[in-house]
Amino acid sequence: MCPVTRSGGSAFGSTLLVHGPETLLSERAVSARVDAARTERPDAEVIRATGAAMTGADFLEASGGSLFSPTTILVLDQICDLDKDLFEMVTQTAAQPGPDLCLVLVHPGGVKGRGLLDRLRKAGVQRVEVAAPKPWKVPEFISAEARSAGLVLEADAADALQLALGDDLRTLASALAQLASDTDSQRISAQMVTTYFGGRAEVKGYVVADAALAGNLARALEQLRWALSTGTAPVQVSAALALGLRRLGLYLDLRTSRMNDFDLARAIGVPPMRVKELSRDSRSWNQRGVATAITAVARADAAVKGASVDAEYALEAVLLQIDAARRASGRRS
C-alpha cells in the first residue's frame, strides 16, 4: 500500500505512471519520485501540468529542458484529459525519455484515456497502482501509518479507528497525525480512539445502527435524537442502517461456511473485529427479519430524501419497525 520508489538507477531517463483513484497514495507516489529526482539533481526544474491544458508545443517545451535548467522533472496530472492527438508523442517520450528528463504521468483510473494507458503498457512504462484498499486491508495501512508517525497501536486500536472514521485513507492519516500531535503517550488504545473520534457527526449514524441491530431500542432512539440535534444528516442515519442490515444479512448467509473470522470479514467487507459483533447480533435475527427491516429502511430513506415527512419521525418509526422485525425473527427461530 506504500508508494513504489525507484530502487537503484537514476530517476532521470525514466518514466513512472501512477494509476488509480486513491488520491493520498497517488500524491505520495508522485512525491517519492520527485524527491528522489531532486535529491539526485537539486538544480532540476520541476514542472507540473494537467492533461486538459497541455498542447503538443507545451509538452515538447516542458519535456525538453530549458535555458535555465537542462534537467527537468515533469509531472503531468490527469493524463485522461490529454487530447488524443498527443497520445503518440507522450508515449514515445515515456518509452524513451532523455537522460535529463524525469517524467511522471498521473491517471486517476476509469475508462477515459484508456487508449493512452494501453500504449504506455505496450511501451513497458513502469506503473504503480494506487487503488483504494479493500476494507479488510485498511488496518494494515493504519498500522504502517502509525509507525511512521511514531505511534504504537495496542490491540484492536486500528480496527477501532477504522470503525470510527471509515476507509478513507486521507482521513485516517490525518487522524493519526492528530493523535501524534495531541496526545502525550505514544501508545494508542482502542478506548482512546473511541473517546477521541466518537463524537464526529459521520460516526453517529453507525452508533444508531449498532444499537438498533443489537436490540437496544431505547439506546437507538436516544442516539438518534442526539445525532440529529448535533448536525448529523438524516440520510447518514438511513444509510448506516441499510449498510448494517446488508452486512448482517451477508453474515447470516455465510456463517455456516467453513470460514475463519478473517475470511468472513473479507467476504462481508468489514474489519475482522466486526465479525464478533455480527455473530452476537445474529442470534436475534433470521434472513426473513433482515429482509423485512431492509424494506422498511428503504421506505424511510426515500421519505427522508424526498422530505415528504418529518425526518426525525420517519427515522424513529423505522427504528420501531426494525425492532419489530428483530423480535419476529426471534419468535420464528
* pLDDT category of residue 2 using cuts at 50, 70 and 90: very low
Looking at residue 114, what is its pLDDT? 93
**Long-range contacts of residues 148-152, Cβ cutoff 8 Å, at least 24 apart:** 149/176, 149/177, 149/179, 149/180, 150/180, 150/186, 151/176, 151/179, 151/180, 151/186, 151/187, 151/188, 152/186, 152/187, 152/188
Q: Select the more confidently predicted residue: 141 or 258.
A: 141
The span from the CA of 162 to the CA of 172, in Å, is 8
Are 286 and 237 in a shared domain?
A: yes
Are 241 and 120 in a shared domain?
A: no
* pLDDT category of residue 6 using cuts at 50, 70 and 90: very low
> What is the CATH number for 29?
3.40.50.300
Q: What value does the mean pLDDT take over residues 85-99?
A: 95
Are 232 and 265 in a shared domain?
A: yes
pLDDT tens per residue across span 261-319: 888 888 888 777 788 889 999 999 999 999 999 999 999 988 888 755 688 899 999 99
The span from the CA of 121 to the CA of 232, in Å, is 45
Residue 5 lies in a domain: no
Reported pTM: 0.65
Q: How far is CA 294 from CA 156, 206, 239, 254, 318, in A?
A: 30, 15, 11, 18, 10
Residue 3 lies in a domain: no
Q: Pick from 74, 104, 129: which residue ends a domain?
A: 129
Q: How many domains does the chain have?
A: 3
Looking at residue 316, what is its pLDDT? 95
Joined grid coordinates for residue 273:
473485529
Residue 7 lies in a domain: no
Question: In terms of residue numbers, what domain contains 313?
Answer: 201-332
Are 291 and 181 in a shared domain?
A: no
* pLDDT category of residue 203 using cuts at 50, 70 and 90: low
Are 183 and 220 in a shared domain?
A: no
pLDDT tens per residue across span 284-297: 999 999 999 999 99
Are 18 and 109 in a shared domain?
A: yes
* pLDDT category of residue 7 using cuts at 50, 70 and 90: very low
Are 165 and 177 in a shared domain?
A: yes
Residue 212 lies in a domain: yes
Judged against a pLDDT cut of 80, whether residue 57 lies above it is answered with yes
Q: Pick from 129, 144, 162: which residue ends a domain?
A: 129
3-state class (DSSP) for residue 101 = strand
Q: Which residue from 160, 144, 134 is spatially nearest to 266, judged by alpha carbons?
A: 134
Are 287 and 324 in a shared domain?
A: yes
Exposure on the CB side of residue 134, measured as CA atoms within 13 A = 11
Residue 295 lies in a domain: yes
The span from the CA of 171 to the CA of 190, in Å, is 17
> What is the CATH number for 321?
1.20.272.10
Are 177 and 255 in a shared domain?
A: no
3-state class (DSSP) for residue 50 = strand
Are 160 and 116 in a shared domain?
A: no
Judged against a pLDDT cut of 90, whether residue 18 lies above it is answered with yes
Q: What value does the mean pLDDT take over residues 238-243?
A: 90
Are 157 and 220 in a shared domain?
A: no
pLDDT tens per residue across span 94-136: 999 999 999 999 999 999 999 999 999 999 999 999 998 887 7
**Sequential DSSP letters for 267-333:** HHTS-TTHHHHHHHHHTT--HHHHHHHHHHHHHHHHHHHHT-S-HHHHHHHHHHHHHHHHHHHHHH-
* pLDDT category of residue 14 using cuts at 50, 70 and 90: very high
Q: Pick from 129, 146, 163: which residue ends a domain?
A: 129
Residue 36 lies in a domain: yes
Are 125 and 18 in a shared domain?
A: yes
> What is the CATH number for 141?
1.10.8
Alpha helices in 123-233 (DSSP H): 138-148, 157-165, 169-182, 190-197, 201-213, 217-229
